[in-house]
Structure 1
Amino acid sequence: MATPIPQFSAEIFPSETAGGVVRLEQTLAALRRLDPHFVSVTYGAGGSTRGASQQALERVRAAGLAAVPHLSALGAAREDVRRMLDEYRGGGVSRLVVLRGDAPSGLRGHGDFAFATDLVRFIREETGGHFHIDVAAYPECHPQARSCDADLAHFKAKIDAGADAAITQYFFNPDAYDDFLDRCTATGIRAPIVPGVMPIGRFSRLVQFSEARGIEIPRWIRRRMEGFGDDSASIHAFGVEVVVRLCERLLGMGVPGLHFFSLNEGERVGEIWRALGLPQAACARAAVAQTHRALPDPAG
């Protein structure tokens, strides 16, 4: 059996401000040059960004890219989800990223879905196999999990409920991902698990973001970053180097793909993408053209 070709994708978030929309358009233009397999669009707590997320999905499509919506379980009502699923099917969407999500501010209770597992099961009951469903995985363990074993059991429940694959939370320690794969295999999980990749921008923001999510930034990276002080050029170059080296090791492990959390900074993703030598739009089109030229003439 041929080895599956890795799939490379990216995530964006919606924006309702004029400046944010301009930045989003610039990000999509940068991603278009890379030709990712798909671009996923985040969805605010309890659907708080539903309108903006829908507009962002339309912008992704207008850029000629495959748009994949996120769906969050917490705060969602069955009828609302059913309506969205019908809209997505009617609009040609065939893939979803399904997450538990965050509870909206002031939310009483959980809506109709307490966990991503419940939402995955509902989507399968409503739509059968129409959607390819990606869920989240946590190589360094979800920060709210009682234990790593409990977290793995939650992940397996999502796969057993009908999820096709997973995208991990980002990490900087590939050994954590490798260990997670081993534990998944031992538990009987065979679904593809795509590593999530976070480009390093402002390091102070990354530290804050990571601490809130239980993600370890290795001490050597922290100390190197601290040593650069206010030298933004060195910080940028080192950040790209760290992520490229991480991705190279992951690709060497035979991962099923890479999913870049762009934070609407498409040029930063592009710099890493090109350094890795990943397929880009022009290369992809040339490969397709070459394949067509190689096909026999049906009239000949």
Structure 2
Amino acid sequence: MGFHHAQQIESLNQSVSELKKINVSFEFFPPTTESMENTLWDSIERLQTLKPSFVSVTYGANSGTRDRTHNVIKSIQERTGLVAAPHLTCIDANEQELRQIAKDYWNSGVKNIVALRGDLPSGSSKPNMYASDLVELLKQEADFDISVAAYPEVHSEAKSAQADLQALKRKMDAGANRAITQFFFDVESYLRFRDRCAAIGIESEIVPGILPVSNYNTLLKFANFANVKVPNWLHQQFQGLDNDQNTRNLVGASIAMDMVKVLSREGVKDFHFYTLNRSELSYAICHTLGVRP
């Protein structure tokens, strides 16, 4: 057994025994069918045992789903007592409506919000409100705990990486409590981004958003939509597994575990998991990180 080999084993032992205490949060989306609803509740019941710092519920860009989001949030709070944060966008509601929504949330005990600009409707070029305006409006209404989005690989509509960073700074200055990143697979890109945030004076937590991949083709659609780089090694890991869900789950969980261990060693204390309403992968990843019921 060579020296190099011994060194690797030593570092593996060390990395497993040295896990730091971390906090986790989970994202879900509102179900549209009964079977999706069952899947969602199974997942919430499983993941709530890990005592996440909060769970969030996404929001599609029309008011019908806004009500669905609100209903899921209310049910989560009633059934589990977890802190539940709805996504809120400012593209499809005017200022008055947004103030009313904010009041309603606050009065029904929803004190945490994920504030986003939202996707522009096709054909429109410039929004009348940005996420920083929404953060400001929410803070005027009540002392919400606000999470905003950050883009380590740069928002697809940003003029430049620097402009994108300035936009994040405006959201933080408007009163956001933390930023949650878009998912990524290049850990370096997150770490460089975190350094750039610190350099520009952003002191809040930049929480990495982790997407455990169980379906590579679905991932490609997401990545394309979100301007996220899919590295070649990821492609190779999933090659030949189109009809093999079990192996895909193991591969996806293993990749996410590796990423999260590296990030944890780099001092990251909070992780946000995009669950896609499934619990298996996120639960397993959290377990290996020492987050236990």
TM-score of the aligned structures, taking structure 1 as reference length: 0.85
Aligned to 1:236: 249
1:205 aligns with 2:221: no
Contact 1:75–1:107 (8 Å) recurs in 2: no
How many residue pairs get matched? 273
Paired residue secondary structure (2:250):
helix
Shift of 1:67: 1.0
The structural deviation recorded for 1:34 is: 1.9
Change in Cα spacing, 1:210 to 1:98, as seen in structure 2 (3 Å) is same
Structure 2 match to 1:80: 97
What is aligned with 1:160? Answer: 173
Q: 1:203 to 1:254 in 2, by over 3 A?
A: same
Q: Deviations over 1:117-164 (max 9, x none)?
A: 11111112222xx11111000011111111111111111111111112
The 8 Å contact of residues 46 and 74 in structure 1, kept in 2 or not, is answered as no
Partner of 1:286: none
Tell me whether 1:7 sits opposite 2:7 in the alignment: no
Cα deviations across residues 238-280 of structure 1 (Å, max 9, x unaligned)?
Answer: 11110000011111111130000111012221122112221x3
**Gap change, CA 1:204 and 1:16, over 3 Å in 2:** closer
Contact 1:48 1:104 in 2 (8 A): no
Which residue does 1:295 correspond to in 2?
none
Q: CA deviation at 1:229?
A: 5.2
Amino acid at match of 1:155: L
Q: The residue matched to 2:228 in structure 1 has which SS?
A: coil
Deviation string, structure 1 residues 174-213 (Cα, Å, up to 9, x no partner): 1001100111111111111100000111111111211221
C-alpha displacement of 1:9:
0.3
1:136 aligns to what SS in structure 2?
strand
Q: What is the percentage of aligned positions where both structures have the same residue?
A: 37
**Which amino acid in 2 is paired with 1:118?**
D
SS in 2 for 1:234: helix
Aligned in 2, Cα 1:168/1:178: closer, same or farther, shift over 3 Å? same
Q: TM-score, normalised by structure 2?
A: 0.87
Give the Cα–Cα distance (whole angstroms) in 2 for the partners of residues 11 and 47 of structure 1: 20
Instruction: Give the equivalent residue in structure 2 for 1:103.
Output: 120
> What amino acid sits opposite 2:203 in the alignment?
R
Superposed CA deviations along residues 59-88 of structure 1, whole A, max 9, x for unmatched, are: 211123211111112112122211121122
Deviation per residue, 1:29-75 (Å, 9 max, x gap): 11122221111111221434012111111221112321111111211
Distance 2:168 2:178 in 1: 11
2:89–2:115: 8 Å Cα contact kept in structure 1? Answer: yes
1-side partners of 2:266 and 2:63: how far apart?
Answer: 37
> Which residue is 2:48 aligned to?
32
Q: Is 2:262 aligned against 1:249?
A: yes
Give, in angstroms, the shift of residue 218 of structure 1.
1.4
Cα distance in 2 for residues equivalent to 1:49 and 1:229: 32
Contact 2:83 2:112 in 1 (8 A): no
User: How far apart, in 2, do the equivalents of 1:228 and 1:24 lie?
Assistant: 25
> Given the alignment, which residue of 121, 124, 134 partners 2:139?
124
Q: How far is 1:232 from its partner?
A: 3.0
Distance 2:64 2:188 in 1: 36
Which runs of 5 or more structure 2 residues have no equivalent in the other structure? 1-19
Query: Given residue 34 of structure 1, which amino acid in structure 2 is its aligned partner?
Result: L
- Counterpart mapping for 1:60-79 below 5 A: 60-61=76-77, 62-79=79-96
Instruction: Output the CA distance in 1 between the equivalents of 2:197 and 2:125.
Output: 34
